[in-house]
């Protein structure tokens, strides 16, 4: 005598069990992607080494500089320049300065991700003793954060640390006492937005929960 459920009912149960297993696999995969993606942040040091030139010149580089997914734009009719490695006053690492006093520069992330700004090296430019530099960050919600720093008047790089410059869409810097300075080693971290991946994951999880309720 044969035992078990009729063929159609048996196949239906097997199909439902297989579908439930597949949905559980997708559920945990989506969760893993979302949790992992939420914690991914990319640290970047913008060091301008791509502009290094072994000579004694003061070289112009135009009004735009890009490195590691970030772009720095000069404003106020200024442009960027750097000193050659053989030039008097070279600090040991390629750094950039603005062509004109009264100019400014704005840093943005190339594809619109928000970023955090942690530190920067500033250097007096020749006899420009103790320049004061104002940094202005615009956060993704429109909040403005500022910090003003004054160099110590001694030749050589100084490292400045920043607090609260998080979730930025742009960072601007400029001199407030009409003295030139050089910048190097901008320490920033890209913080990706959840974007499409987050919406897709939320939709899949919602679909799974809906199917469970229907079942």
| 16-75: pLDDT as tens digits | 655 555 556 455 545 444 445 555 789 999 999 999 999 999 999 999 999 999 999 999
Average pLDDT, the chain: 83
**Of 187, 184, 190, nearest to 47 (Cα)?**
184
Higher pLDDT, 93 or 31: 93
CA distance 190 to 84: 30
Q: Is the pLDDT of residue 107 over 60?
A: yes
DSSP string, 145-207: EEEEEE--SSSS-EEEE-SS--SEEEEEEEESSS--EEEEEEEEEEE---HHHHHHHHHHHHH
| pTM (predicted TM-score) | 0.75
Q: What is the pLDDT of residue 209?
A: 56
DSSP string, 64-102: EEEETTEEEEEETT--EEEE-TTSTT--SS--EEESSTT
Give the model's confidence band at 102: pLDDT under 50 very low, under 70 low, under 90 confident, else very high. Answer: confident
Task: Give the mean pLDDT of 135-154.
Answer: 96
Q: What is the pLDDT of residue 32?
A: 47
Task: Give the mean pLDDT of 120-131.
Answer: 89
Q: Are 174 and 124 in contact (CB under 8 A)?
A: no
CA angle 135–140–142, rounded 5-degree value: 70
Q: Is the pLDDT of residue 202 over 60?
A: no
CA distance 40 to 134: 30
Three-class SS state of 114: strand
User: How do residues 6-15 score in pLDDT, each as one tens digit?
Assistant: 566 555 555 4
Give the model's confidence band at 153: pLDDT under 50 very low, under 70 low, under 90 confident, else very high. Answer: confident
Q: What is the pLDDT of residue 74?
A: 97
Q: What is the pLDDT of residue 33?
A: 46
Highest mean predicted confidence (pLDDT) among 36-40, 89-93, 140-144: 140-144
Q: What is the pLDDT of residue 161?
A: 98
CA atoms within 13 A of residue 163's CA, in its CB half-sphere? 0
Count helices and strands in the chain by DSSP H and E runs: 2, 13
Three-class SS state of 106: strand
User: How do residues 156-197 score in pLDDT, each as one tens digit?
Assistant: 899 999 999 999 999 999 999 989 999 999 999 998 765 545
Give the model's confidence band at 92: pLDDT under 50 very low, under 70 low, under 90 confident, else very high. Answer: very high
- Within 8 A by CB and 6+ apart from 154, the residues are 124
């Amino acid at each position: 005598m044969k035992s078990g459920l009729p063929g159609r009912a048996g196949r239906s149960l097997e199909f439902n069990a297989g579908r439930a297993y597949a949905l559980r696999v997708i559920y945990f995969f989506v969760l893993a992607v979302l949790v992992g993606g939420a914690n991914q942040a990319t640290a970047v040091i913008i060091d301008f080494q791509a502009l290094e030139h072994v000579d004694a010149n003061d070289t112009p580089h135009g009004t735009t500089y890009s490195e590691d997914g970030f772009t720095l734009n000069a404003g106020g009719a200024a442009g960027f320049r750097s000193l050659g490695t053989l030039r008097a006053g070279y600090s040991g690492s390629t750094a950039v300065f603005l062509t004109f006093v009264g100019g400014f520069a704005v840093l943005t992330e190339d594809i619109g991700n928000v970023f955090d700004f942690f530190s920067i090296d500033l250097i007096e430019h020749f006899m420009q003793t103790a320049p004061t530099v104002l940094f202005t960050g615009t956060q993704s919600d429109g909040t403005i954060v500022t910090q003003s720093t004054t160099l110590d008047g001694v030749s050589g790089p100084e490292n400045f640390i920043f607090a609260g410059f998080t979730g930025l869409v742009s960072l601007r810097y400029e001199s407030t006492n009409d003295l030139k300075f050089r910048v190097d080693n901008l320490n920033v971290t890209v913080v990706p937005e959840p974007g499409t991946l987050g919406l897709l994951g939320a939709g899949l999880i919602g679909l799974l929960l809906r199917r469970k309720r229907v079942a």
